[in-house]
Amino acid sequence: MSNQFLGYFSDASQTKPEFDPVIEGTPCPVCLRPLARPVVTVSLMGVGSSKSYFFRAHKACWNETPDAEKERIEHSIIDGTTP
Ligand SMILES: [Zn+2]
Domain locations in the chain? Answer: 7-75
How far apart CA 27 and CA 35 sit, in angstroms, is 5
31 CA → ligand 1 middle, Å:
4
Q: DSSP letter for 9, please.
A: E
| The predicted structure's pLDDT at residue 1 | 39
pLDDT at 79: 79
Q: How high is the pLDDT of residue 19?
A: 86
Measured in angstroms, how far is the CA atom of residue 34 from the centroid of ligand 1?
7
| Cα separation, 40 vs 63, whole angstroms | 9
Q: How far is the CA of 57 from the centre of ligand 1 (A)?
A: 6
Question: What is the largest distance, in Å, between two alpha-carbon atoms of the chain?
Answer: 33
> How far apart, in whole angstroms, are the C-alpha atoms of residue 46 and residue 59?
23
**Mean pLDDT of each 10-residue bin along the chain, 83 residues long:** 73 86 87 94 74 91 97 85 57
35 CA distance to ligand 1 middle (Å): 7
pTM of the model: 0.80
CA 46 – ligand 1 centroid, Å: 25
Ligand 1 centroid – CA 60 distance (Å) = 7
